[in-house]
Amino acid sequence: MNILGISAFYHDSAAAITQNGEIIAAAQEERFTRIKHDPAFPTKAVEYCLKESGLSLDKLDAIVFYDKPLLKFERLLETYYAFSPRGLRSFLTAIPVWLKEKMFLKRMLYQELFKIDSFDKKKVKLLFPEHHLSHAASAFYPSPFEDAAILTIDGVGEWATASICHGKGKDLSILKELKFPHSLGLLYSAVTYYAGFKVNSGEYKLMGLAPYGDPNSEATHRYADLIRTKLIDIQSDGSIWLNQEYFDYATGLRMVKDKEWEKIFGFPRRESESQLEPYHCDFALAIQIVTEEIVIKMAQEAKRLTGSKNICMAGGVALNCVANGKLQKANIFENVYIQPAAGDAGGALGAALAANYIYFSQERKVTPNALDEMKGSYLGPEFSDVDTRLMSRKYNAAYEYFDNFDQLAEKTATILAEGNVVGWFQGRMEFGPRALGGRSILGDARNSEMQKKLNLKIKYREGFRPFAPSVLAEDAADYFELEGNSPYMLLVHGVTEKRRKALPENYRSLPLMEKLYYLRSDLPSITHIDFSARIQTVHKETNPRYWTLINEFKKQTGYGVVVNTSFNVRGEPIVCTPEDAYKCLMRTEMDYLVVGNFIFDKKTQPEWLEKDTWKDEFKLD
């Protein structure tokens, strides 16, 4: 069975292709168009998937869209009817778009697909699974489990905002759903908006800001209690009820009623890019605490309903790696597996897998003792030496070429140990929001200045943002309080006690930036202010080149861990091509670029004439 999955028209459009259940290729459209969170039909991603699989559209058994547009339209109409006459302005804005485009999505999909290639519509089926079924399938079918509870939590699909499913072999059944407008994802996005960050991209900033809050402060407890008493009612099974008197997302043009929230919390909505105050940090911590409480309750309910020892997770809230770490520590399940492309992009993959196993009823084989079937999430395009040489000619770029990769790894490790920042571009591009050693910017985790340098001079983003460690899988327990593996950077756990440094008594009362730059461990650039780290375990089986580099760094320094952040500047999608990577090198204060077996030293490159015009190219996220 050859199946193409597509997600589009909301945010993070993507395509994925499977052959007899094997994941052949998957990529987000943003990587090709260079438009972050691109919602457009994923033409370039589809073209890439077809090329990688060697298939044409006519050779497919099915093309699968990740949700049911008519159900979503039904929800829209019923919501406006229920809240009428409130929301008339929003109704008049939204309905013409639906009538013109989304009501006729099937026709629009055919139009876009025929621009790519012709095919027989009678032969190639066009299927529409439900949104949360696509999420659930994306998590369960690639997992290493024959049997698992499946928890999906996001903003909203058609009607569902969270679901509990049970996966057995090739079968997947939906057991329980939470319905719109009551949504943990939308609650978290509402707080994201009120804290001055961008909805659908700034949620991870809110999560990164939360540890700067004081867990013992009166303000944090008060904010958390106000959220529980004014905004939300939490039931024992994790189901929630959101008080719509304080929200505006159901029928309005913004997330919340600003004046009502100001009355509750005692401060106005923060303006984007404005100064962060201690109460913003406490507010972020409060919603993180409430979110973790709800996720744990939902997981307990999933355990009760399924009796399984395993849980799989997907949906945008599954990217909250702090909550994931707390869930793992709660020991409700023996094993926790999270789809690395947990958001809407992963819906394209889930749609294809749902069609393969549910619609076409194909047999599923689970590989014993495997990490999973995601191939390390390295499912995007890769580039040859020829591509890199052509790029270097275009820019007259100077480079050193290594016939022997071990020698290149040795030199790169030395460059890192000397305090340099390296753009690392190897093999296939990652699928999902995390850079995992295919398209990464690397630094020395021991260097106390590395976090500041990466944030302010390379990424051009807020200084409070934390960075993740990539650690040799076999060495992880020496650095982190992690049991098992975390290959997709989706679990947060503490740095081990032996690596921590004592904090001063007045630490919690220090200004934000003073907290940030206080040396908390012997790995200061990846130790967040609460001694936590978002961990990626690097496995020789899935990324031998990245593993070899870190192992060489360990030989030279004694530390089998490096700083890893995504290869892009703020507002830009992760780089896709060697040319994207070279531009990023020249636009920033990065020191070196390693593409395949090529090393580009920034000091030896020709003058870059673009100056700062690139800042107009990418919108701040």
CATH value of 1-130+346-372 in 3.30.450.40, 3.40.720.10, 3.30.420.40, 3.30.70.260: 3.30.420.40
> What pLDDT does residue 500 have?
96
Among residues 475, 456, 587, which one has the least CA distance to residue 516? 456
Q: Which residue has the higher pLDDT, 475 or 371?
A: 475
C-alpha 247 chain-centroid distance: 26
pLDDT digits (tens, 9 = 90+) for 78-111: 665 566 666 666 666 666 665 655 657 888 999 9
> What pLDDT does residue 87 have?
61
Q: Is the pTM of this model over 0.75?
A: yes
Compute the distance between CA of residue 95 and CA of residue 91 in angstroms, rounded to an integer.
6
Compute the distance between CA of residue 293 and CA of residue 300 in angstroms, rounded to an integer.
11
Full 3-state SS string of 115-144:
HHCCCCCCCCEEECCCHHHHHHHHHHCCCC
pLDDT digits (tens, 9 = 90+) for 493-549: 999 999 999 988 888 778 777 777 788 999 999 999 999 999 999 999 999 999 999
Question: Please, what CATH class does the domain formed by 143-338 belong to?
Answer: alpha beta
Compute the distance between CA of residue 248 and CA of residue 403 in angstroms, rounded to an integer.
59
DSSP notation for 132-184: HHHHHHHHHTTSS-SEEEEEEE-S-SSSEEEEEEEEETTEEEEEEEEETT--H
pLDDT digits (tens, 9 = 90+) for 416-451: 999 999 999 999 999 999 999 999 999 999 999 998
> What pLDDT does residue 92 have?
65
Whole-number Cα distances in Å, 503 to 315, 500, 518, 530: 37, 9, 8, 10
Phi-psi region of 375 (alpha: psi -120 to 50; beta: other; left: phi over 0): left
CATH 3.90.870.20 in the chain is located at 385-616
* Fold classified for 385-616: DHBP synthase (3.90.870)
Residues 6+ apart with CB under 8 A from 402: 408, 411, 597, 598, 599
CATH 3.30.420.40 in the chain is located at 1-130+346-372, 143-338
